[in-house]
Structure 1
């Protein structure tokens, strides 16, 4: 390998080495606090290693990986999300009965898997990255083994992830049978002269979409989402909602652009059907919930539908819209689940909507932060979520996809109800949530609140002045 190869792979190498180093520190029987601080420093180091990537991108590590500006952007979002989850995890796990040290090893491995997905240009690296991500998630979801909901959620995710991997592998095999290659670019060249997709290739691609659909939790592959979101520890839920979805969306977008899949109408029809069903079903199911985790779980189905709306046109603007919306969604969902993490107690997570009654009168700052995150998810003006949805609408209308744009607007209107229901609960009455005692670790509590406050500032800043993020997204966009 050349020096440039090592520079290009430095984030992946650092994440791999970090997981090994944390295992060695655990063997030395260091305390939870030392393990957490060490992992935090390693996440920061991995994040800052990305600043050297543009000097060598686009850089191909044949035949599996490519490190270009888009990969650097997605890896930045993934590692940043892992860093925030790491910070929030201390106050959540410190009071729990299980020893949380091994948790940080799994966190590094799952982040590594998502980063491999972001740089994949081959079916082998795609599958390896996906399995590194999902195998770590099995353990993370069921980490609090004393709670039966966690074990149930972990088993459900294990069974369905294995089921979806089988579909994914069989679809890859059919595409390999048709094209003779598993590399995206060679597959694209084999399809270049064809006016339509061969039946064998279309069948394989359909099976791959089933596998990817399970990972993204889009309709009709969404049945596991609410149970896993509710059963997993709250920091792990935020990790699933951001990191695992971001890596899969990145590799899906790269694959469709390389093979120029946007010119095949049967494929676009499949994606449009999934997007419309996800936006409608996700929002309607969220209306019926009284558990905040389940509300956010079903709303995530709708948000993945919005991302598919942005992906379908296949234009330069649609690529920018996907990147912008991913950034806004990551920041927003980390903020929302961060508040739930801080308010959780040793016995229970803060997931019942009634537990947020009169939160403003007990924790005014936390209530305002949570409200800003929910308003951004709803797409209210002056938030990053609004600009992201506007960007998606502009991309879809520019390409003439009026129907899916109309469904997006209707879905956003429906979603406004259940987001405002949580907000109204926080500002109503004067009873409700008792103040959580933080005497055992006030510094980590303060750091967590500061991080969430900074994320809230980003939500508002990108909603009021989106030009900076738009320029950033355009610089790091995926070339067509």
Structure 2
């Protein structure tokens, strides 16, 4: 590898090195506070390094990786999400029975795996990144051993993730058998030599979609989502909903762009059915829930369906719409799960809707922050979620997909019900039954509130002034 290769890989190398450094700090028995602050500093350094590799873009490290504008943007979202999760994790884990120090090592490794996915242009790097991400999540989901819901969620994720990896590997093998290559660009080149696509290749592509579908939790591969979201620690749930899914969606998008998978009518029909089912079923299942984490779980299924509406056209507008909606979804979901994290206590997470009753009268700032996140998820104007849905509709309508665009609008109306139900609960009644918060660590409690307030301001800022972000994303090209 050349010096430029190492320079281009700086963010990944920093994440890998940080996990080793945190292990060394744990070995010398430093406190949880020192470990958390060190992790926060290292995440900040890794995020800052993304700005220093801009002049190299696009940069290929053949045959496995490509660093371009799109991958750096998604890496930035993933590392930023991990940074926010790191901030929220201190007040969540400080009072728990388990030692939380190793948690930060796993968080670095999962972030590394998600970032490797975003820069992958080869099945080998895709699978390695996916396994680094997934294996770390096994432990993170089941980290609180004394809660039986955590162990149950960890086992469910373990079984279904292994099942999906088997589908993914077998699909990769079939595509390799047909095209003789595992590099995305070579697969595309070899496909042009065939007069027609063989059933073998389409079967392999279908199995890859099944494997990726489980990771994204789209319908009909969504069975694990609600149980895992409810059982996992609240900060881990935030990571799964954002960084984990963002990395997988980014590599799927790159794969389809590079092989021009949008010309396969059968595959596109399947993706349209998945998008429609995810939007409708995700929202309908969320309406029936009384648990906030389960509501957000089924909501995430619907939002992945929205993303597929922008994904399916495969145009330049799709790249901008997907990038903006990923940013909107990351910021909003981190804010929502951040409120759940801050309001959780030593014994249980703040996940029952009734526990949010009259929250505004006891914690007005938290209630307003949570309301901004829920309104953004619902796609209400003057929030970043509304602008994101607008661009998704524009991408779909520009390509002539009127039916799925209409279904997006109708399903979003259904989603309004359960988001507004939580908001009205927070403003109803006179006295909240939630605890006062993490008074044992008032400084870190305030830092968490400040971080969530900043995210809430971003929700409003990008909802009112989206043009700067969209102009920036206009330069993205998948190489």
Fold match (TM-score > 0.5): yes
In structure 2, the residue corresponding to 1:120 is in which secondary structure?
A: coil
Report the Cα distance in structure 1 between the residues aligned to 2:300 and 2:437, rounded to whole angstroms: 31
Cα drift, residue 246 of structure 1: 0.3
Match of 1:428 in 2: 428
- Residue 49 of structure 1: aligned partner: 49
CA contact (8 A) 1:196 1:264 kept: no
CA distance in 1 between partners of 2:396 and 2:423 (Å): 30
Contact kept, 8 Å, 1:355 with 1:432, in 2: the verdict is yes
**Quick one: distance in 1 between partners of 2:254 and 2:265?**
18
In the alignment, is the contact (CA less than 8 A) between 2:64 and 2:121 conserved in 1?
Answer: yes
In the alignment, the residues of structure 2 paired with residue 71 and residue 402 of structure 1 have an alpha-carbon distance, to the nearest angstrom, of 30
Correspondence 1:292 to 2:292: yes
1:413 paired residue number: 413
2:91 aligns to what? 91
Tell me if 1:61 matches 2:61. Answer: yes
Number of the residue aligned with 2:365: 365
2:204 counterpart residue number: 204
Counterparts in 2 of 1:59 and 1:411: CA distance versus 1, 3 Å:
same
Indicate if the aligned counterparts of 2:345 and 2:437 stay in contact, CA closer than 8 A: no
Task: Give the equivalent residue in structure 1 for 2:129.
Answer: 129
- Shift, 1:478, TM fit: 2.9
In structure 2, what is the equivalent of residue 119 of structure 1? 119
- Report the TM-score, using the length of structure 2 for normalisation: 0.99
Match of residue 167 from structure 1: 167
Report Cα offsets for 1:375-407 as digits up to 9, x if no partner. Answer: 000000000000000000011001000111011
TM-score w.r.t. the length of structure 1 is 0.99
Q: Matches of 2:23 and 2:190 in 1, distance apart?
A: 45
Q: 1:198 Cα shift?
A: 1.7
Tell me the residue number matched to 2:214.
Answer: 214
The one-character-per-residue Cα deviations of 1:249-279 (angstroms, maximum 9, x if unpaired) are 1000000000011111111101101000000
Rounded to whole Å, the distance in 1 between the matches of 2:365 and 2:207 is 47
Q: From the superposition, tell whether residues 389 and 437 of structure 1 become closer, same or farther in structure 2 (CA, over 3 Å).
A: closer
1:109–1:133 contact (8 Å) kept in structure 2: yes
Contact residue 345 and residue 436 of structure 1 kept, 8 A: no
Q: Which residue of 2 aligns with 1:4?
A: 4
* Equivalent pair of 2:343/2:437 in contact (CA under 8 Å): no
Q: Residues of 1 paired with 2:193 and 2:53: CA distance?
A: 35
Partner of 2:460: 460
1:193 to 1:334, Cα distance in 2 relative to 1, 3 A: same
SS at structure 1 position matched to 2:351: coil
Which residue of structure 2 aligns with residue 332 of structure 1? 332
- Deviation, 1:479, is 3.4
Residues 437/71 of structure 1: CA separation in 2 closer, same or farther (3 Å cut): closer
Instruction: Give, in whole Å, the separation in 1 of the partners of 2:478 and 2:76.
Output: 18
Return structure 1 stretches of 4+ with deviation > 4 angstroms: 193-196
Distance in 2 between residues matched to 1:367 and 1:444, nearest whole Å: 19
Question: Counterparts of 1:391 and 1:244 in 2: how far apart (Å)?
Answer: 23
- Counterpart CA distance in 2 for 1:181 and 1:292 is 45
Distance 2:267 2:192 in 1: 15
Secondary structure at 2:66's aligned position in 1? strand
* Cα distance change on mapping 1:322 and 1:195 into 2, 3 Å: farther
CA–CA distance in structure 2, aligned partners of residues 133 and 169 of structure 1: 16
Quote how far apart the aligned CAs of 1:468 are: 1.1
Q: Give 1:478's aligned residue.
A: 477
Q: Distance in 2 between matches of 1:422 and 1:5?
A: 49
Q: Deviations over 1:103-133 (max 9, x none)?
A: 0000000000000000000000000000000
Query: Distance in 1 between the 2:192 and 2:392 partners?
Result: 28
Question: How many angstroms apart in 2 are the aligned matches of 1:93 and 1:260?
Answer: 45
Q: Give 1:245's aligned residue.
A: 245
CA distance in 2, matches of 1:339, 1:99: 23
Matches within 5 A, 1:204-353: 204-353=204-353
Gapped regions of structure 2 (runs ≥ 5): none
| Worse overlay, 144-153 or 53-62 | 53-62
Any gaps of 5 or more consecutive residues in structure 1? none
SS in 2 for 1:329: helix
- How many positions carry a matched residue from both structures? 479
Paired position in structure 2 for 1:397: 397
Give, in angstroms, the shift of residue 408 of structure 1. Answer: 0.4
Residue 147 of structure 1 and its aligned partner are, at CA, apart by 0.2
CA distance in 1, matches of 2:381, 2:196: 42
1:78-105 deviations in Å (ceiling 9; x for gaps):
0000000000000000011100000000
CA contact (8 A) 2:355 2:434 kept: no
Instruction: Quote how far apart the aligned CAs of 1:472 are.
Output: 2.0
1:196 is displaced (CA, Å) by: 4.3
Q: Name 2:106's counterpart in structure 1.
A: 106
Report SS of the residue matched to 2:252: helix
Q: CA 1:299 to 1:201, structure 2 compared with 1: closer, same or farther past 3 Å?
A: same
Distance change >3 Å, CA 437–CA 272, structure 1 → 2:
closer
Query: Residues 214-234 of structure 1, C-alpha deviation per residue, up to 9 Å, x if partnerless?
Result: 000000000000000000000
Matched residue SS, 1:60: strand
Secondary structure of the residue that 2:53 maps to in structure 1? helix
Say if 1:149 and 1:463 are closer, same or farther in 2 by CA, change over 3 A.
same
How many angstroms apart in 1 are the aligned matches of 2:279 and 2:436?
Answer: 36
What's the offset of the Cα at 1:433? 2.8
